Structure 1
Amino acid sequence: MKIAAVGVHVLDTHVIGVESIPAGSDGQLVETIRMSAAGTAGGTALVLSRLGAEVTSYGAVGTDPIADVLLALLTREGVDVSGLVRKDEHQTSSSVIPVRPNGDRPAWHCIGANGAFTLDDLPPSAFDAVTHLHLGGPEFLGGEAAGQLLGKARAAGAVTSLDILAPGDPDMLAWVADALPHTDYLLPNDEQVLGFTGASSLAEGARALVDAGAGCVAVTQGARGALVVTADEVIEVPAYAVEVVDTTGCGDAFSAGFLRGLSLGRDLRGAAELGCAAAAQVAGGLGTDAGSYSLDSVVAFAAEAERR
């Protein structure tokens, strides 16, 4: 699997044990502060690399220290970051995620250089010998440009996948609609599907997105696992039980595991199971790079969970 991960790259700063925002200029001790590479392209790229894929990231970052950290974290995981262009006039996209004791995780986010990324930032070599192209955050490009990108990738023989970052809204779906007919696998969450379509059920909403052009819609449902819908079938896969530390990045991990499973010849159910198992690794730690999981360990985790 040789994949181009294109689009949103973010540096996340997780803060564990935030009970409240201190009043005035007061301070508060917390349990942990940790940085990790994230984003619908960046986080997915990281997990794909851990699962044995050959990954090159494409997108935009700044020339600030945030970019230095983000590039170092991705490089340490084996991701080729040569496709990430640096823009002097924009800061690198970053989020601060305070995690409350009950698991709630509000966030502060700066769009930064992600909003300045265009197709002109992609070198012609981006499509050289890739088997897959994953676009995270098509809303920043717009549907027409996203459709052009995915169409070129398909013409070059690549499997295409798409993950929308923005919350579910019919206007947002209309904004990126031109990309759907060029998308083999659409990877939204349940709230997005219902918000995009106004459907009364998740299966109905996913089927509407298939009707809009996506070849397959694989929906994450948090603790309920995943739902995979095509024109011919509906497959539900439960989540794996795990002691949850932080769910940030679980959707990106599912996307990575699902796509990697397909590349290894698994059917849709088997790919979704690998996606759920990858998401479980991330839920049990802080960030997509928590722990030291690999393809073998994730497969072993899923097999052991099935035996229990």
Structure 2
Amino acid sequence: MRRDGDRLVEHLAAATRGVLICAPFIKAGVLRRLLQTIPSHVTVRVVTRWLPAEIAVGVSDLEVFDVVAARHGARLELLDRLHAKIYVADHAALIGSANLTGAALGWSDKPNLELLTTLASTDEAVRQFLEQLAEARPAALEERDRMRRLVEELHVPELNLVSDATTTAPAVLWLPQLAAPSRLFQAYMPQTRDRLAASVLEAALSDIDALGIPSGLQEVAFRQAVAASFERMPAVQRILAAAADDLRDADGADIIHQMPVARDLDAEQQWLIVREWMTSFLGDRYEIAPASFVVRLKPGAGRT
């Protein structure tokens, strides 16, 4: 069976004018290998996202900044809410599930099961997506250095998840710190955050950074962004899967106890925080049964 990485190399090598490489997770070695196959006169635009928890466990590399900077005619941009994977060479696009990691492209001993398919860049869905990439911002040296400091502050233990971790690895290391999620928007707004205690503000800003919430959102959009990012975190996904049936406090704490989560709280305290976030941001589907404190899907909500 032909590997997706080999197909991607052939696709990009055929470019004569311009290439777009767009994926949330990019390993520096993989990107370097791809850039070497693209003709030197072809312009290259790389769009990715940098979230501290993901970088901390190695699913994305900050060194991508240096790889792109070393190539003439290449630029790196960041888009915090990016999830799509699309690789455009001139007017042809490969789209699908594969990030730029060895496991995703079939260049590892245990490759992921991925899909890449070809579409014309003039396809309406592709065209609309490419227009939205105008939101991406140039990656600056200052932001790379700031992100590196944030990663160091996470104090993530060495877990050997890094070389070609799949998309399910990074957020297993993140769970919310803010015990009162109702204060999150107050911390997000510069004009109101000074009313919060220092410890509350520190926890809130750490959570906002980990979730990759962009600045400038109004409250409704902010809550939607937090809910979407929170729900995507693999540690949270594991908890949500368990909550499809009644999830008692002891069981929720036990799930968290088994996770390699970097935290100062014990599992029981961490579970209570997660429980509050679930009902605050996913309250349309989850509730706490008052008699038994069981977190469960609301009747008729269905599974996601």
TM-score by length of 1: 0.25
Bigger CA radius of gyration: 2
TM-score by length of 2: 0.26
